[in-house]
Amino acid sequence: MKDSQVREMFDAIAPSYDFQNSFLSLRIDVGWRRRLARMASSENPQVILDAAAGTAEVALELSRRAPRARVLGVDFSPAMLAKGKTKLQGLRENNRIDLACGDCRQLPVAAESVQAATMAFGIRNIQERQLVLKEFHRALTPGGRLFIMEFGLPDVPILGPLYRFYFHHVLPAVGNAISRTNYAYTYLRDSVLAFPDDDAFLAELSSAGFTECGVTLLTFGVARIFSGRKPQSNRAVRSA
């Protein structure tokens, strides 16, 4: 799918996006985002970037886990962001969260300006992954960390085959019906299947300049969090 079609799709499903997530994942996704926020806030970052922020679910979790940090959410779908802005109104976290319309392939942030970056369920939508990973690398301060959460398929007895049946046959049909489209969840399934396996994506992180690359499985691998660190620069290491 072209980027403009991806944006149009998220604009179209934005009104019921949060409900779709909760319904189709039985609210397990709430715990996944909490885990992501916990990992991203563990080294007390002052500024956290959440790319492909959507309706600000991750930004909200981040601001709760890191009460002294500023959180910047970036997304290219105006309708998803509008939903997020409405959600934040009246919450005390609102004054520490900024939501901006922008493209992850050209992040609207200065170089070396964020100590942690997250992206939940966004990377599989973007063809130019290396471009995005390099943008994260540019935005992070030396020593800063990147956390990318994406869907996967569990590879365990009993649950694995059951989930695969759900994922291949039930999810597209029910998801398309709930989102009132005939393609959104067929696209979700196909984009997850097209995403590289763990080793291949970890190699992509390394080739974008990240070190300490690793993957954490969530719910037996139904979701996973890839992580990496931007190394301290040679200059910083020499002068230390």
Ligand X SMILES: C[S@@+](CC[C@H](N)C(=O)[O-])C[C@H]1O[C@@H](n2cnc3c(N)ncnc32)[C@H](O)[C@@H]1O
Nearer to ligand X, 2 or 235 (CB): 2
Rule CB under 6 A: is residue 57 a binding residue for ligand X?
yes
Cα dihedral sign, 202-206-210-213: positive
Q: How far is the CB of 221 from ligand X (least distance, A)?
A: 18
Q: What is the DSSP letter of 76?
A: S
Q: How far is the CB of 220 from ligand X (least distance, A)?
A: 20
Binding window for ligand X (CB under 6 A); candidates: 115-123, 156-164, 169-177, 192-200: 115-123
Among 53, 62, 140, 148, binds ligand X (CB under 6 A): 53
Q: How far is the CB of 182 from ligand X (least distance, A)?
A: 18
Residues 6-25 that bind ligand X (CB under 6 A): 6-7, 10
Answer yes or no: are the C-beta atoms of 78 and 57 closer than 8 Å. Answer: no
Cα dihedral sign, 201-38-32-222: positive
**β-strands 97-101, 70-75 pairing:** parallel
By CB neighbour count within 10 A (0-12 exposed, 13-18 middle, 19+ buried), where does 18 fall? Answer: middle
List contacts with ligand X (CB under 6 A): 3, 6-7, 10, 52-54, 57-58, 75-77, 80, 103-105, 120-122, 125-126
